[in-house]
Amino acid sequence: MNTASNARACARTATRSRRTADLRLLVGGAGALLIAALVSQPVAAGQCPSGQSATNADHGRMTQPVGVTDTVVTSIDLGQEPAAIDGRAFRLRRLEIAPGGVVPWHSHADRPAIIYVVAGEVSEYSSGCKVPIVHRAGDATPELHTVSHRWRNSGTGTAVLLSADLLKAGGDAKAM
């Protein structure tokens, strides 16, 4: 190998090393940023404040949605999947709640769900809490079998939520 070839090979190796170091820095930095973002979130975000738990708190049980657009994004018949959960669909919905809009009182006794707040801020009026629970963009909230509640957008902009639930076959496809 001549001197020019050797110099080019060394330059390629040095370039690859710099790219690898840059990639490690980028990935490490992104990981550190993610960890910092997660750690900086309040531990009790979207939860009933300490000392405010209740049993069957009544927050006015509206029965009809007001200012809510409910769109089913997609669903999967779980009886046809390897999990083989007959009679259940795994459903993803997008809820847009206008300012002042209300998702009416409903139960998750037979329909567990997870809510993720994409944009805005909503207040949850839960049977398990004496005061409204505030959920902000970035919050995720499990809705377990013990939960009965309603949601209200008290903000000035549209709140956007994603809801993933396990809908029972024959269940109300528009169940909130």
| pLDDT for residue 54 | 80
| pLDDT for residue 31 | 46
Architecture of domain 66-168: Sandwich (2.60)
Give the pLDDT confidence of 27-46 residue by residue, as tens digits.
Answer: 444 444 444 444 433 334 57
pLDDT averaged over every residue in the chain = 78
Q: How many Å apart are CA 151 and CA 18, to the nearest integer?
A: 51
Residue 100 has pLDDT above 90, yes or no: yes
Give the pLDDT confidence of 61-71 residue by residue, as tens digits.
Answer: 677 899 999 99
Among 3-12, 65-74, 99-108, the least confident range:
3-12
Q: How many Å apart are CA 126 and CA 147, to the nearest integer?
A: 7
What share of residues in the chain are helix, strand, coil (percent, to 5)?
A: 25, 40, 35
Contact 126, 149 (CB under 8 A): yes
| pLDDT for residue 55 | 79
> Quick one: pLDDT band at residue 175, thresholds 50, 70, 90?
low
State the number of CA atoms in the 13 A half-sphere of 173 facing the CB. 6
